[in-house]
Amino acid sequence: MPYVPHTAEETRQMLETVGVSSMDELFADIGPELRPRSFNLPHGKSEMEVMAQIERLAAKNKVDVVSFLGAGFYDHHIPAAVDTLTSRGEFATAYTPYQPEASQGTLQAIFEYQTAISRLLDMECANASVYDGGSAIFEAMMMGVRATRRKRLVISEALSPIYRIMLASYTTNLGLELVTVPHRDGNTDIEALMAAVDDTTAAVVVQNPNFFGHAHDFTALFDHAREVGAKSVISVYPIMQTLLRTPGEMGADVAVAEGQSLGMPLSFGGPYLGIMTCTSKMVRQMPGRIVGRTVDTQGRTGYVLTLQAREQHIRRQKATSNICSNQSLCALRALVYMSLLGPCGMKRVALSSIENAHYAAKRLTAIPGVSLMSDAPFCNEFAIRLPISAYEAVDRMTERGFVPGFPLGRYYEGLENCLLVACTERHTREDVGILAEMLGGLIR
Amino acid sequence: MKTLFAKSTPGRRGVCIAEPACCEADHLPAELLRSHAPKLPELGELDVVRHFTQLSSLNYGVDGNFYPLGSCTMKYNPKFMEQAAALPGFTRLHPLMAQLKGAGHFTQGALEVMYEMENLLCEITGMAAYTMHPMAGAHGELTGAMIIAAYHADKGNRKTKVIVPDSAHGTNPASAHIAGFEIVSIESRDGMVDPAALKEALDDEVAAVMLTCPNTLGLFERHLPEIVEMVHGVDALLYYDGANMNAIMGKMRVGDVGFDVVHWNLHKTLATPHGGGGPGSGPVGVCEKLKPFLPVSRVKKLEDGRFVLDYDHPKSIGYMAPFYGNFGVYLKAYAYVLRLGGEGLTRASENAVLAANYIRKRLEEHIHVPYNRICMHEFVSSAVGEDLNGVRALDLGKALLDKGYHAPTVYFPLIVPECLMIEPTETESKATLDAFVDDLIDILELSKTDPDNVKTAPHTLPVTRLDETRAARQMVLTDDV
């Protein structure tokens, strides 16, 4: 009887107390016409058997490959203490902290997470997180729609195409207009964005570094947006935020991020972490949970969920959003990661990744026929043009256990020969050398 | 307890990261760089370990405490599932790997998990197909509501409204609203959806009815067959809020009885840890006619046994998640279903219902039970009566914290005054259930003799009652103010 602890005698006593003679009598309300037509599930197995089956499935995946795949999701080193601390049952098996006196651990951790994330992105407030970086962009955009009561959204095509597809799906029934401004050789076209943002625009949405890895300064764009009454939304890569000009310095109203790089394993796409920050003016528009500091009846510091009047359990269909959970345990991972590395360690991770990417770019562009898509500054990821199809290059190299990057033609028409290459601190010069040799061999 | 920031000392180092061979100015122009370093905590590794270990001790979790939270299903989370989900064969897998032409074979194990899980959920609920993409229960509701909207749009139906009974979860109306619908609320009668009220609200503009069954009072909707017929009679769809699935596994399949869409909260019924508020997983199942509208990608099994991702669904609502949902979460649920099997899932529901009825029976003479008949996996009680001396549901909950239990759900559903909603789950022993009942009876007795003691609880936790009004009025949301 896995996980049901009663002995037969205890079950008998309980049935007797309830006043029924059998388990089935408890389900009398479900009439015979409502009973299952089938329930053909496998028989239960022992823990050992199930583990063997799961291990067999895990072994069918190939993870011992050298991979330069990134595209917004990166294989950074995760210090051991991240797993150890966040897997503590007191954190992992707790509920949403609706009873604050019994949840100060979770609440203080969220408060500290809010603080660390606000400082990293240089914004005034953060929420307790949403599902992922894509849903964070959608929610940020909707903050702009609510704050301006306008319906036109201007989005850079250099924003991750994965997220742009999500935005298109999420907004299907909302009567919003999504205007996409094309990229220029992998760069965010700031001038075209400025021209597209006018006094009917709710929000402008950009990414830094953008999907092609290029870093920009959006101060002028955000100044212009403010002048015409539009909100500025920026999505960033948290690891690079230790170096790059911040959303706060650029004057963004809402800054969001995919937090996977802060101590989350890639884990085939989830769970990840949707980071959301904003200016204090916008905080009442921000969805999701927010923790505030307060005092108890004896004047001692404590933490509670606050601004709940925005939320669905009180305002139902009038709520700011339908989001009723956060990625609490993922936010905790991010906080532990940031605490273990500190500002110095995080900057080192960023710099090592950048150094590896620039070394790779140098080696790859030395191959005849291979060139950078643009000479604009980039961080840990860059796009190159090949004299052959990038699909074919990837296909042929993966056969040999080496994934050279992400073929941009998957999402961008006309870029079938372009490859997006990402590095982290985990790559070695040897990895890069093999990449260059294999790609060179393929092209010759 | 001091915050991480208060414990920070400038220059202290935790995990050692090798010094890189470059500085930022080597690769990036000055105008792209931030002007000042972020003030993140600077601590040694042991400082960090102690900080979070001590923080954890301020929390109640299922591993340490009984959590009889109605509507939340806080059952035990078997430990081997954590081990399964931590296997590097899964955690190190880049999601885009599955989308590369030549590397699809690198992800066969993960795709098989997704495929098998969809099939298992189909069999448990009698639905035609599932998507694993939604990242939480409410995200599943939104996905389901968007599928409903797409279905009606495709048929050329003009449907603008969704009916939500007043006993539904607050996320139901919020989710349907974000999918573009107007919300019509209907009142319950005798703890059930009132067929007369439903009939009156149902017209040709209704796209769907969102139902929770058993409902949030813990009662099975006795008018269910009638409701199904009425809803389908106006070409509306019937949505099943799967938060209460723990009561019916093996006893009823929602697809068989006529529900068109259903979502799960995997952390509830299929025992994945709640994580203090997430991550969750909220798969959505649909009937045959709604399959074309499911999000992409879909996982498909080829004749040769290989698994591939399939994006060729022109009527799909699109991407609800960047990839394939919270894989790490549903991997745990998958392991749990394999462990229990069909008979184990049925046994879980039987024992969950038995435990709820056992507590209800033992408490019925001590606290008002407004719908005192056989309930499903949870029931509501009501802290009313003069002998309670003004002690409210919230106070009873706080006093239970002192005894080492998490409080039941209080003030929900909204239709019961001073509501305490109790859900024990199947994994608690009779000894725990008895101790809980005895302790609650003690608190109710204390309310008669020393109500102030109860009204000021908790007394033994790290903090006493917190000033929530102040938190909202004088907002302090970071450690900087």
Mean pLDDT computed over every residue of chain B: 96
B430 contacts in chain A (CB < 8 Å): 5-6, 10, 13-14
- The parent domain of residue A178 ranges over 81-337
Answer yes or no: do A426 and A316 share one domain: no
- Give me the phi and psi of A365, to 5 degrees please: -75, -10
Residue B481's pLDDT band, with cuts at 50, 70 and 90, is: low
A6 contacts in chain B (CB < 8 Å): 351, 429-430
A377/B27 touch (CB, cutoff 8 Å), yes or no: yes
B322/A162 touch (CB, cutoff 8 Å), yes or no: yes
- Which residue among A337, A359, A392 closes a domain? A337
B324/A322 touch (CB, cutoff 8 Å), yes or no: no
Residue B191's pLDDT band, with cuts at 50, 70 and 90, is: confident
CA terminus-to-terminus distance, chain A: 64
Answer yes or no: do A373 and A321 share one domain: no
State the alpha helices, DSSP H only, in A32-103.
47-59, 80-86, 89-92
- Give me the phi and psi of A50, to 5 degrees please: -65, -45
In a domain, A317, yes or no: yes
Q: How many CB atoms lie within 10 A of CB B190?
A: 9
A174 contacts in chain B (CB < 8 Å): 178, 180
Chain mean position to CA A274: 5
pLDDT in tens, B296-320: 999 999 999 999 999 999 999 999 9
What is the predicted pLDDT for the residue at B46? Answer: 97
Is omega for the bond preceding B413 within 30 degrees of 0, making it cis? yes
Mean pLDDT computed over every residue of chain A: 96
Q: What is the CATH number of domain B80-339?
A: 3.40.640.10
Answer yes or no: do A165 and A306 share one domain: yes
In a domain, A40, yes or no: no
Mutation site, A160, A317, A338, A402, interface B, largest B CB count within 10 A: A317
Give the span between the Cα atoms of B124 and B415, in whole angstroms: 31
In a domain, A161, yes or no: yes
A57/B112 touch (CB, cutoff 8 Å), yes or no: yes
A25 contacts in chain B (CB < 8 Å): 374
- Which residue among A276, A311, A337 closes a domain? A337
Answer yes or no: do A310 and A354 share one domain: no
pLDDT in tens, B426-457: 999 999 999 999 999 999 999 999 999 999 99
Answer yes or no: do A298 and A412 share one domain: no
Answer yes or no: do A289 and A364 share one domain: no
Q: How far is A195 from chain B (nearest CA, A)?
A: 22
Q: What is the mean pLDDT of residues B200-220?
A: 95
Percent of chain B with pLDDT over 70: 100
In a domain, A412, yes or no: yes
ipTM for the whole complex: 0.97
pLDDT over 70 at B113, yes or no:
yes
Say which range, A281-285, A309-313, A402-406, has the weakest mean pLDDT. A309-313
In a domain, A202, yes or no: yes
A379/B427 touch (CB, cutoff 8 Å), yes or no: no
In a domain, A414, yes or no: yes
Kindly report, as residue ranges, where domains of CATH 3.40.640.10 are found in chain B. Answer: 80-339
What one-character DSSP code corresponds to residue A94? P
Of residues A219 and B14, the one with the higher pLDDT is: A219
CA angle A311, A315, A320 (to 5 degrees): 50
In a domain, A46, yes or no: no
pLDDT over 80 at A312, yes or no:
no
pLDDT in tens, B327-351: 999 999 999 999 999 999 999 999 9
Q: What is the mean pLDDT of residues B100-104?
A: 77
pLDDT in tens, A57-99: 999 999 999 999 999 999 999 999 999 999 999 999 999 999 9
In B, minimum Cα distance to A33 occurs at B257
Answer yes or no: do A118 and A202 share one domain: yes
Q: Which CATH architecture has domain B350-471?
A: Alpha-Beta Complex (3.90)
Answer yes or no: do A227 and A123 share one domain: yes
In a domain, A60, yes or no: no
- Which residue among A270, A305, A337 closes a domain? A337
Residue A310's pLDDT band, with cuts at 50, 70 and 90, is: confident
Answer yes or no: do A89 and A28 share one domain: no
What is the predicted pLDDT for the residue at A129? Answer: 98
- Give me the phi and psi of B329, to 5 degrees please: -80, -45
For residue A320, give both structure tokens: 């700011």
A28/B31 touch (CB, cutoff 8 Å), yes or no: no
What is the predicted pLDDT for the residue at B455? Answer: 97
What is the predicted pLDDT for the residue at B16? Answer: 84
Q: How far is A88 from chain B (nearest CA, A)?
A: 7
pLDDT over 90 at B257, yes or no:
yes
B275/A92 touch (CB, cutoff 8 Å), yes or no: yes
Distances (CA, A) of B286 to B131, B215, B247: 9, 20, 20
Mutation site, A76, A87, A131, interface B, largest B CB count within 10 A: A131
Answer yes or no: do A134 and A182 share one domain: yes
For the full predicted model, state whether its pTM sits above 0.95: yes
In A, minimum Cα distance to B401 occurs at A102
Answer yes or no: do A270 and A398 share one domain: no
pLDDT in tens, A222-257: 999 999 999 999 999 999 999 999 999 999 999 999
What is the predicted pLDDT for the residue at A316? Answer: 75
The residues, any chain, with a CB within 8 Å of residue B124's CB and separated by 6 or more, are: A39, A41, B249, B253, B337, B345
Instruction: Give me the number of domains chain A comprises.
Output: 3
B53 contacts in chain A (CB < 8 Å): 85, 88
pLDDT over 90 at B189, yes or no:
no
The residues, any chain, with a CB within 8 Å of residue B321's CB and separated by 6 or more, are: A131, A132, A134, A166, A269, A270, B133, B134, B135, B295
Q: What is the mean pLDDT of residues B42-56?
A: 98
Answer yes or no: do A152 and A5 share one domain: no
Q: How far is A34 from chain B (nearest CA, A)?
A: 6
